[in-house]
Amino acid sequence: MKKIHLHLVVVLVLALLLNACKKGGNEPTPDPPKPPGETGAPIFPKKEMRAVWIASVYGLDWPQGAYNMASQKQQYINYLEKFKALNINAIYFQVKGMGDAFYNSSYEPWSAAITGTRGVDPGYDVLKFMIDEAHARDIEFHAWMNPYRIATRASAASSFPALHSAVKPEWVADFPTIRIYNPALPEVRQRLVDIVKETITKYDVDGIHFDDYFYPEGETFADQADYTKFGAGIATVQDFRRENVNKAIKGVYDAIVATKPGVIFSVSPAPEITKNFNTLYADVKKWNQEGWVDVVIPQLYQEVGNQYNDFQLRLAEWTNNSFKAALMVGHGFYKFGDPTMPAAFQSSAELQRQFDLTKLNTKVIGNAMYSAKYLDMNKVGITDKLAAIYKDPAVMPFLGRSVAAAPAEATNIRIENGELKWNASGNVKSVVYYFSDLKKEGKVLTITKGNSISINAIGYYSVSTLNTDSQESKPSAVMEKK
């Protein structure tokens, strides 16, 4: 019986993967073609966004109780240096976790995560510092926001913090342990749009990112009056809730495109499509179909073979339902080495299995690890495993909208006195590929703003250019070093 079941699972996965070809709209630029090795054409490595989530709510990853500027800056730089060494090229940093902000906002108070006290100016421009330091290391900075959560409390017997003076009490909904902006209100949706517009206008963020919290799970909603007032023509109150979130997502997407179209909009939903739809009232499938998000990053934190949320089956489902959105995969990095977790997470081999599946999936353009502090712990050698998987740099895929001029191809590629040299024009970086054998997949040697590197390995080299949108030029013909 078990063998039959496994066979059916394999068939289902293959069928879903083979049928997952309904993509259109804002697609990432394709990887350079991989013709059969016998043709002699080079086989280029897959482009990859390699990301890490940095949670600031409760100080989880940053600043972990450090409430002075020098310590905070050093802790953040230490993270970036770690990421750079691991060839990680993007971070999702939580800049709005509790109806708060990591900059001097017109709408929300300074985050308590920075100083320990909500609303207190930390004395430096935290967000600018973080973005500048990330960009100095060629790491993208995506501003992670929770769209609705304002505060949490231990129980109904405790009090929520006072509302910011700009927030009207009628805009919020209180539950036993959480206070949120009421998703049904047009004023709330406009406020969310305004916060996003302010962030992307003031700061050079590469993306806006929402997590998986929309309507709070497991709560009873007293929204019949809202439904009566705003839900004309909508069949059920459940559909009304979904439509409220739809309007918020579309509003944010439209604001990004109108205000700063180079910014990428991404969402990391819960692993089950039906749970998002029925419990969180997040119709993520529709957002993907309509092209309202550029990247979808389902949190596939369970192991391969999990009884309820099998990594492999969920991957197949999202592959088949990503539509116009580029697909990434979120991994439960925090679970590795935790003795309370399933046996699979007591070995780094599980991460390798997951990456093997995502690498073979042509729709997956990247992976994200939750969360940053666990990379420092290296339990069961999990960070060593990630370092082995990411041993070579990766080219960032093009994920959003074209803003910069298309990159001109590198020219005059040549080998002189042990150096590979080329000419590049415009505001571009250059990618150097190396192939030891044209019948095998090559690797990225470096991504550089220069126009030469020292080489000593016998083999084949190719050079392309990348503009600021991560659009890649056609790679050059290979140059052989004998």
| Fold exhibited by the domain 405-481 | Immunoglobulin-like (2.60.40)
pLDDT at 40 over 80: no
Q: What are the domain boundaries of the chain?
A: 9-21+24-389, 405-481
Task: Report the C-alpha gap between 431 and 466 in whole angstroms.
Answer: 7
Question: What confidence tens digit (pLDDT) does each residue in 88-120 have?
Answer: 999 999 999 999 999 999 999 999 999 999 999
Q: Which pLDDT band, with edges at 50, 70 and 90, does 166 fall under?
A: confident
pLDDT at 370 over 90: yes
Question: Can you give the pLDDT at residue 164?
Answer: 87
Query: What is the structure's pLDDT at 33?
Result: 52
For residue range 185-227, list pLDDT tens digits in order: 999 999 999 999 999 999 999 999 999 999 999 999 999 999 9
Taking residues 57-74, report their average pLDDT: 97
Hey, which residues does 209 pair with through a beta bridge? 144, 266
Helix (H) or strand (E) holding 331: strand 326-331
Contact call for residues 296 and 269 (beta carbons, < 8 A): yes
Residue from 298, 311, 296 nearest 356 by CA: 311
- Third-level CATH fold of 9-21+24-389: TIM Barrel (3.20.20)
- For the residues 421-432, what does the mean pLDDT come to? 97
Torsion angle, alpha carbons of 388, 392, 398, 399, to 10 = 20
> pLDDT digit string (tens) for 399-424?
989 999 999 999 999 999 999 999 99
CA 85 – CA 141 distance, rounded (Å): 17
| Distance from C-alpha of 3 to C-alpha of 303, rounded to nearest angstrom | 19
Residue 18 has pLDDT above 70, yes or no: no
pLDDT (mean) for 169-174 = 97
Q: 336, 429, 329: which is closest to 51 by C-alpha?
A: 329
Q: How many residues does the chain have?
A: 482
Q: Which own/partner contact pairs does 444-452 have at CB distance under 8 Å and 24+ positions apart? A: 444/45, 444/392, 444/393, 444/394, 444/395, 445/392, 445/393, 446/393, 447/138, 447/393, 447/395, 451/421, 451/422, 451/423, 451/424, 452/419, 452/420, 452/421, 452/422
Q: Closest Cα to residue 427, out of 452, 454, 449?
A: 449
Report the pLDDT value the prediction gives residue 481, as an integer from 0 to 100. 96
Q: Are 53 and 92 in contact (CB under 8 A)?
A: yes
pLDDT tens digits, one per residue of 294-342: 999 999 999 999 999 999 999 999 999 999 999 999 999 999 999 999 9
Among 133, 251, 262, 267, smallest CA distance to 196 is for 251
Contact yes or no for 368/268 (Cβ under 8 A): yes
Question: Which range has the worst mean pLDDT, 21-25, 145-149, 378-382, 471-475?
Answer: 21-25
Question: To the nearest whole number, what is the mean pLDDT of the chain?
Answer: 93
Q: What are phi and psi of 326, to 5 degrees?
A: -70, 150
Q: What is the pLDDT of residue 150?
A: 97
First-to-last C-alpha distance (Å) of the chain: 57
Does the pLDDT value for residue 39 go beyond 60? no
For 12-16, 58-62, 132-136, which range has the lowest pLDDT when averaged over its residues?
12-16
Closest CA to 423 of 432, 434, 433, 413: 413
User: How confident is the model over 458-475, as a mean pLDDT?
Assistant: 97
Query: Rounded mean pLDDT of 29-46?
Result: 66
Is pLDDT of 270 > 60?
yes
